[in-house]
Structure 1
Amino acid sequence: MKALVVYESMFGNTAQVAEAIAAGLRETMSVDVREVKDAPAVPADDIDVIVAGGPTHAFSMSRTRTRTDAIARGATHGEVDFGLREWINGIPDERHSSSLVTFDTRVSKVRRLPGSAARSAAKAGRRHGFASYASPESFYVDDMSGPLEDGELERATAWGRELATLAAAR
């Protein structure tokens, strides 16, 4: 089985989570990890699962305006004009053989507020013809720039392991 992990990261936290998820997936499947700007515009047909994630900005996936703001606040990763939203929206609307599972990073102080990049990405994926076999997942940072809360990387690895098990059972 093959997985593609695609991530957008502004402060490096989401990149760390993506790598941890990939580590869990790698225990039983082949995994390619790509920053969103380097991800294939059309994922290959032999990919069984795409795990895609990004930071939650203004209760959703990032936009040019929110990425510009993150860079103004010290972000050293990512691109102003291209993120997870643009990548998903660039994928053709058709039934895909891959499943799409989504994750995000978000500030722990707003755990209970509505909206998340993972849920928005999952919804966009469904509009573009992807099925999913797992609920969107959030991983928490202490502040906008991080760091990740204690235990989040271990939780991400365990979630990757669970995703691989669920994919194999399908």
Structure 2
Amino acid sequence: MRALIVFESMYGCTHDIADAVARGVALVGDATTVPVSHAIDEDTSVYDLVIVGGPTHIHGMSRDSTRRGAVEAAEQPDSDLTAEPDAAGAGIRDWLGELSRREGAAAAFDTRVDKPAVLTGRASKGIAKNLQKLGFTLVADPESFLVDTHTRLLEGEVARAEQWGQMVAARIA
């Protein structure tokens, strides 16, 4: 079983979760983790499973304006945030918009602030919907991994992401 994990990350939390998901998948099969900025080079048809994740911005997937805002927030003199190298580049929404229709197994995850989803939204729901429109079959419900209001992962979320990755991969192995 071969899995591709594509992620978008602003401050590193979603990157950390993608790496944890990949460690979980690796207990079942082979895992390749790719930032969305390099995902255009990947042929998704050679993978048995495609897992896609990104941060929740204004109730859903990021947009150009929200990515620029995240980078600007990190550049503020009083900020303790550090933007990922490709944070201002194309996001998951853009990548999914460029993919060709295909069949295969997929799953979606996001990172979001630890508040009720009705208040924060969930990027994973939009990611999942786009994956289905492309012809993928979801093998798990969209999953959220939580950060605090300072954009730090909550305790236990990395371990939970590993378990989730293993569970998702086991469903198709």
Name the TM-score, length of structure 2 as normaliser.
0.89
Q: Structure 2: give runs of 5+ residues left out of the alignment.
A: 75-81
Partners of 2:52 and 2:107 within 8 A in 1: yes
CA separation in 2, counterparts of 1:48 and 1:58?
32
Identity of aligned residues (%): 36
- Report the RMSD for the aligned CA atoms in angstroms: 1.5
* Aligned 8 A contact 1:89 1:128 in 2: no
The amino acid that maps onto 1:57 is: H
SS of the residue corresponding to residue 4 of structure 1 reads strand
2-side partners of 1:81 and 1:19: how far apart? 20
Q: CA offsets per residue over residues 49-108 of structure 1, 9 Å max, x none? A: 01100000000000000001111111511332400000111101x232x21210000001
**Shift of the alpha carbon at 1:114?**
6.0
Contact 1:42–1:91 (CA under 8 A) maintained in structure 2: no
Q: Is the 8 A contact 1:9 1:15 kept in 2?
A: yes
CA distance in 1, matches of 2:111, 2:120: 14
Q: Structure 1 length as normaliser, TM-score? A: 0.91
Find the aligned partners of 2:41 and 2:107 in 1 and give their Cα distance.
17
1:127 aligns to what? 133
Query: What is the aligned residue count?
Result: 165
What one-letter code is carried by the residue in structure 2 that aligns with 1:62? S
What code does the residue aligned with 1:76 have? Answer: A
**Segment drifting more, 40-49 vs 129-138:** 40-49
For the residue of structure 2 that corresponds to 1:54, the secondary structure is strand
